[in-house]
Amino acid sequence: MNSTGHTPDRNRRTFLKGLTLTIGSSVIGLPLLSFCSDGSAGNAPEEMRSDEESPQKRKLGIALVGLGGYSTHQLAPALQETKNCYLAGIVTGTPAKAEAWKAKYKIPDKNIYNYQNFDQIVNNKDIDIVYVVLPNAMHAEFTIRAAKAKKHVICEKPMATSVEDAQRMLEACRQNKVQLAIGYRLHYDPFHQRVMDLGQNRIFGNVQSIRAHNAFDMGAGSSNSWRVDKERAGGGPLMDMGIYCVQAACYTMGKAPVAVTATFGEVTRPELFKEVEQSINWKMEFENGVIAECFSSYSDREDFLEGKAEKGWWRLGPAFGYEGKRGETSQGKMNYPNIFEQASQMDGQAESFRNNKPSIVPGEMGLRDVKILMAIYASARDGGKRVPISYT
């Protein structure tokens, strides 16, 4: 489930109209998405849902599963601006939320579900995609249920809290012939696409080192948050904020690390961090000897991504939040706008689903990252021992 540690400011974000940007290639060798967003209206008119219209021409309906802060402040507003998909339905365990969303977004009763009757979504032709936006430990259950209902799935990061769950999710989607994508929004962001280009295409020569830090101060009033409940979250800041650093190192290099080393940070707030780590440091070792030095915490404030190569360098900072990104290289400033990343992300994912093309952020990438996360935890528990990673 997504988190940035700050309140969104919709007035400062620009949603691009007619911008297309394509750079490099993705981590797994698929072409990066060319994103083109026209800011078209959110809810599709009735004629767009006609059974006679080709799925390749109409908007796809998305049902959001879980109506927490990310769905409320990011995904639902983004779905008012997407051109390939729209907010078709919701799934919530809170009746008051269902009524509020129904009124605000004009969602018909037949497209509103709770966690008990969710499986009935199989009969709903309005809904093509289920977006799982729940605490991490619930990702596997609802991805698998959505797959069995023959719906494509977008699952928030991290994909799962165990390698076994991630594998079960992939298998369920394969068996039911639906696609699974992960909510990795930064693959659709121009600043991060530029980093992919710089690293993978060796614009400044071979990459020599990477640094990625992502942390925020959770605050004293967070003792009831699911993020500090290991059963629901699967871990602490590594699973929530640190996964951005893992992703950044991988897409800078265009490959996965061969080994990791890690150590837990000092616990200065034991009343809050009883079950999950307060902070964690780790290094990702790539096959050519490049090291990515990373840090994540729930009691600090850091947000940057740096890379150094043979003939130059680059830096994003802020790098991982929803807005306010800035970047520069050894040749000057990165002059990219801050876009509405979630709109571009969902448009891109809907386009791949609609055209039966591989996603640039597929479930296989999510499984890879869960393997990396689990290796980092294994190293930290073992006092920083080097842990090789197998992806087979």
CA–CA separation, 374 vs 369, rounded Å?
A: 9
Q: Find, among 163, 78, 159, the residue nearest to 359 by Cα.
A: 159
Residue 166's Cβ-side half-sphere holds a number of Cα atoms within 13 Å equal to 26
Residue 244 appears among annotated catalytic residues: yes
Catalytic residue selected from 59, 151, 157, 283: 157
Q: How far is the C-alpha of 98 from the C-alpha of 105, rounded, in Å? A: 10
Cis status of the peptide bond prior to 158, with omega within 30 of 0: yes
Residue closest to 4 by CA, chosen among 342, 265, 380, 360: 342
* Token pair for 330: 């050894």
Of 244, 251, 298, 336, catalytic: 244
Sheet holding 387-388, edge to edge: 332-333, 327-329, 312-316, 299-309, 207-217, 291-297, 279-285, 259-264, 387-388
* C-alpha to C-alpha distance for 151 and 349, rounded to whole angstroms: 13
State yes or no: is 230 an active-site residue: no
Whether the bond into 95 is cis, omega within 30 of 0: no
Active site residues: 157, 244
